[in-house]
Amino acid sequence: MGKYSINRILPYSGQFFVLPSKSLSVCTRHFKLSENLPMLGQLLRVNLAGKTASPKAKLEIEQEIIKKNKNSLLIWTTPTQRLKSDYDDCIYPGHNFSSVTDDNGETACSMSKRPDTTSMIGERKRIPDPRFKNQCRTTRLFSPRYPSVQEELIQWLKRAAAAPEYPLFVHVLPLHPPLEVNLASYRSNVELLRSLQEPYSLFSFLHPCGDRYIRAGNCNAATEQSIFGANSASIQDLSCQEAAMKIVTRLLKTQHDYLNAADDLGLTQGIEPSTISEDLYQSSFTC
């Protein structure tokens, strides 16, 4: 792999290299997981180097990022973006998914949740959110589908070819202390989530009785629950990049190193914080 001066190539600091096909560039930063342990995590920013991806691009990601990080939790993120047009303020939602590698660097288990658009279940009134005031006031519910890591890489490559400089971020966290996650717990969480078949909804919505909000069953929620369990729910209304950062900071024992890495690689760009109160998800009971 050729090494280049990052300051001359990209406006991000860190180690920069181009994969052998020359169709993908990668910038990476390491960060501490804990002040007391030497184990390091990585944040990678992957970009399409030209207008088209080499047929080998997906294989290179598998070889250089997945296989070289054995016994690791990987959190994959394509960022939420606000798209300006002459007609409307559009949102490209982005996507989060997770995977775990085994002793051989193979993907042992993964969780990615998307809608099966051929199987619409219903429609609900979307919760009020000033970030999306121009969006449709309803949100549709679909049966879920669970793409593989390979399918998601193909999806990103198509998007990156159509939208210049659209990145793929990858967090790589070794499955060792202080990380309170292992392959067995992750697999158990994923199997439970798949068995539940919770409908997919991009946005949170009002309960039919109108007394509370129902959390969105989107990719953010599924990624969080694959790591922390099905009862963990707090990031469904965030942009994908902010949701990923919330997951990672929850896993770490020290955050300063990581937050600097996220800022340096541009993961913090485009974040619009949610103003939705957690209290609105609680039922209100009257006697």
* Nearest-10 Cα torsion for 113, 115, 121, 126: 90
Q: What is the pLDDT of residue 130?
A: 78
- Which whole number is the average pLDDT over 35-52? 90
Q: State the greatest distance between any 2 C-alpha atoms of the chain, in Å, as a whole number.
A: 70
Amino acid 103 reads D
Residues 216-245 pLDDT 10s: 999 999 999 999 999 998 899 899 999 999
Query: Regarding beta strands 72-78 and 95-101, do their DSSP bridges make them parallel or antiparallel, or are they unpaired?
Result: antiparallel
What DSSP element (H or E) covers 143?
Answer: strand 138-145
Distance CA 26, CA 61 (A): 10
Our measurement of the distance from residue 257's CA atom to the centroid of its chain's CA atoms, rounded to an integer in Å, reads: 20
Asked if 221 and 98 count as a contact pair (C-beta separation under 8 A), the reply is: no
Confidence band (pLDDT; 50, 70, 90) for 267?
Answer: very high
- Which whole number is the average pLDDT over 241-265? 96
Task: Name the residue among 215, 74, 222, 224 with its Cα closest to residue 149.
Answer: 74
* pTM score of the predicted model: 0.89
- Which whole number is the average pLDDT over 83-102? 80
Backbone phi and psi for residue 221, each to the nearest 5 degrees, phi listed first: -60, -45
User: What does the chain come to in residues?
Assistant: 287
